[in-house]
Each structure stands twice: as C-alpha cells, then as structure tokens.
Amino acid sequence: MAASKKHRLRDSALRRLLYVLCVTLCGALLLIFIFGSNSISRIEIIRNLDIGDDGSSAYHYDLKVRERVKLPKQNELSFRLEKLNRVPPRNSDLYPNLAKDRIVVVLYVHNRPQYLRVVVDSLSNVVGINETLLIVSHDGYFEDMNKIIDGIRFCQVKQIYAPYSPHVFSNSFPGVSPGDCKDKDDARGKRCKGNPDQYGNHRSPKIVSLKHHWWWMMNTVWDGLRETREHSGHILFIEEDHFIFPNAYQNLQILTSLKHKKCPDCYAANLAPSDVNSRGEEWASLIAERMGNVGYSFNRTVWRKIHNKAREFCFFDDYNWDITMWATVYPSFGRPVYTLRGPRTSAVHFGKCGLHQGQGENKACIDSGMMNIRVDDPDKVSNIESDWVVHVYKNQPGYKAGFKGWGGWGDDRDRRLCLSFATMYHSRGTTSPL
C-alpha cells in the first residue's frame, strides 16, 4: 500500500516534469519559428527591391558578408547608392586608354556645388588629367553635385556614394535614430541610446559623417572598387574646396618618382605645403615635411600600413580624420612620417565656409576665396627639377602623439561602423568587387 502510494506520487511528479518540459519546448519552437521566418522575410524584401540585373544573388551574397561584418541595416536609398557604385566610369569612349603609370585622382565631396564647380574647372586645365581616372566620392546624394560631375568631358570619371553616410539615413543609425541621446544627456537617467565622448557630448550624425566618409572612401578605393583595387601606383586625394593648378599632375609624377630615392622617410607626395596658408618657399629645392591634408598621394604599401591601424583610427575620440591620423596613426608607424613636395604649391585650399554650416547663408564667402587664386606662368608647366636636394623640416608644430582629441567620436556604434568599413572587403568570400 505505502509502496503503491509512493509509486503514484513518483508518477505524478514525472508527469508534471514532462508537462513543464513540453511547454518549454513548444515555446522555444514558437520563438524560433517567429524569428526565423522574420529574418527570411527580411531577406525576401531585400531581394525584391529594384536592385537591377547585376545579380540579386550577388546582393544576397553581400548580405551574408554584411551580417558577418555587422554593417547597419540599409534602406532603399542606401541600396541604390551601392548599385550606382558598380557603374563603370564614363567617357571611356573618349579616353579608351589610361596611362599605365597613371596616378588616379580621388575627389571627395559633400554638398557645396558652388565650390565643386571651381574645382572641376581647375581640373579641366590640369595637364595630363586626360590619361587618368577621376573618382568622385560623395558623402550623401545631392543632385546639384551630380550634375556638375555629369558635365565632365575632360577625362574618365566615376562617381561613388557612401552608402552608410548619415545623410542617407533619416530615421536610423548612422543617421539620427529615435531614442538617441543628444548633447550632454545622461544616458542612464534618460534611458536614451549612445555613449558620450570624453567631454560628455553625444554623437552628432552631421559631424561624424566626414570621418566615416573618408574612411569608407579609403577602404573602398584601395580594396573595393574594381577600377582601383589592383592599382599599383599612387592615388591622389583632393577635396571639394581645393583649387588644382595646371601643373599638379606633372609635378606629382616627378615627385612620386623621386620620393623613394631622395627621401626614404617620405610616405607620400603632396601638392601643397602642410601650412594651408603658405604657397611655398620658392627655393630651388624639394621640401620634406609633415603630412598635409591638401592634395596628398600615396601608394598601396602605405595604405596597408594605415589599414593595419584601423583600431587606432576608429577608436580615437576625435571626429576629424586628419587629426586622428596625426595623433594616432602616423605616430604608431614607429618612424618619422614625411611627405615630399615642391617649393611652389600646385593646389590651394580656398574654402572659407565651414562644412557644417550648410550653404545658402554663406554664398558670399566663395568670392573672397576665389580672388586670391592666381595662376601664373610657372604654375602651368611642371616646375620641379630632379637634381634638387631635399630640405627637411624637422619638429614642425602641429597635432602629434599625445593629443587626446577634440571628441565627437565616443559612440560605440560609430567606432564599430568604422571598423566594419575596414573589414568589409576582407571577410572570407568577399570576392565580388564593387
């Protein structure tokens, strides 16, 4: 009797256990079903977007890579821009043969058409531009900017668009997303999203966009684009407010050919002095000095060194790409980093209206900038002699190792996005070129 009661007790305990197990299992199955089908339908939606005939399978494939490197969820505009990045260069009918030893020119721009017009005009007078490829990298999508580039007939030209620009996302990261902290919000108290920078400020999408664009562009040009991922020579980088003199390309060819022999510590060649207010010394010598950010060019070896420092670049709390390079990346090379240039500038920075002020209210400032740009006869032909000695500027003032940054780059999401740009063309199986 006692035995059978015990038996019955054990039986009911077992039954209860089975019941609990069953409910748990069913719940788990239900969850898997819901989330599983959800992700399938997301892929289906992406597949059904109008992404053209260059292969939804390629996009499906990219999607897997995208998830592996944790890129943000794209919207339709972002997908379209990525598709545009695969369009081959224009004007290849006019210039069917690019020079073997060409220096590719990359012009990176945002939305100042009144500036861009000046730069494009100046490029049209550059001797030798017709033997190379011009790539225009846009931070966002702006019709006025496209129109100017579409008018170019003087060389092969290709436009690319940063598909993860904050300007492309109106309602989600990398743009502003609902629930984001602002200014000096207390994330825990306000239950908002974001990490403040070293000065207590939260991210501003407009401000972080420049560093994101620069880093996306570098990675894309060197490692992503079909047209340049195997380019073995130098690439020149200029901005939408850099006036380029007619002799810039020829001078750069001389500088890049002399660099190795004349200045082993030179990683780059520059069109302009690092002091943006200087037009050069006009000595009969070459100049080696700290890296400047007007018209700089380097080769793939140097890019690999920079790319190896992706963590330093992406985690440094400064929203300026150039200050980030000076304060963390170059010092981490372990050797002095110089650039070689001529004694007379071949490019001038003329922008006076800041990038973040928008346009419209600042239309006047271009005129005053333009007044000063005179192209004299020595600027029309190459003016560098290969038998000149190199004058080295040592210990120039400026940002260097130890500077802790101006902030603006404290949000984990920005840092991760930045790192994703550095890995997106390197993940296993990422063979489909842009």
Ligand X SMILES: *[C@@H]1O[C@H](CO)[C@@H](O)[C@H](O)[C@H]1NC(C)=O
| DSSP3 helix / strand / coil % (the chain, rounded to 5) | 40, 10, 45
Phi-psi region of 177 (alpha: psi -120 to 50; beta: other; left: phi over 0): beta
Residue 418 to residue 421: CA distance in whole angstroms: 5
The number of helices, as runs of H, and strands, as runs of E, in the chain is: 13, 11
349 labeled binding residue: yes
Q: Find the shortest distance in angstroms from Cβ 267 to ligand X.
A: 5
The nearest distance, CB 72 to ligand X, in angstroms, is 34
The Cα 428–Cα 423 span in angstroms is 10
Helix (H) or strand (E) holding 104: strand 104-109
Is 110 labelled a binding residue? no
Token pair 């500088």 is found at 255
* DSSP E strands, 210-368: 235-239, 242-244, 266-270, 286-290, 296-298, 338-341, 347-349
Q: How far is the CB of 157 from ligand X (least distance, A)?
A: 14
Interface with ligand X by CB under 6 A: which range of 126-134, 137-145, 164-172, 280-288? 126-134
What's the CA gap between 140 and 112, in Å, rounded?
12
Number of amino acids touching ligand X (CB under 6 A): 11
Measured from the CB atom, is 85 or 253 closer to ligand X? 253
Residue 86 vs 262, nearer CB to ligand X: 262
| Nearer to ligand X among residue 118 and residue 263 (C-beta) | 263
260 binding ligand X? (CB under 6 A): yes
Among 169, 214, 237, 267, binds ligand X (CB under 6 A): 267
Q: Give the 3-state secondary structure of residue 106.
A: strand
Fill in the per-residue mask, 86 to 125: x = in contact with ligand X (CB under 6 A), - = not in contact.
---------x------------------------------
DSSP string computed for 294-340: SSEEE-HHHHHHHHTTHHHHHHSSBS-HHHHIIIIITGGGSS--EEE
Identify which of residues 159 and 247 has a Cβ nearer to ligand X in the complex: 247
- In whole angstroms, give the CA distance from residue 402 to residue 119: 35
Q: Scanning residues 130 to 169, which ones bind ligand X (CB under 6 A)?
A: 130-131
Q: Judged by CB, which is closer to ligand X: 267, or 321? A: 267
Sheet with 104-109: strands ordered across: 156-161, 133-138, 104-109, 235-239, 296-298, 266-270, 338-341, 286-290, 390-392
> Does 266 help bind ligand X (rule: CB under 6 A)?
yes
CB of 321 to ligand X, least distance (A): 20
CB of 302 to ligand X, least distance (A): 5
Q: How many residues does the chain have?
A: 434
Among residues 252 and 365, whose Cβ is nearest to ligand X?
252
Q: How far is the CB of 384 from ligand X (least distance, A)?
A: 17
Is 302 among the residues that bind ligand X (CB under 6 A)? yes
According to the binding rule CB under 6 A, does residue 127 interact with ligand X? yes
Binding-site annotation, residues for substrate: 139
Residues near ligand X (CB under 6 A): 95, 127, 130-131, 259-260, 266-267, 299, 301-302
Binding-site annotation, residues: 139, 241, 349
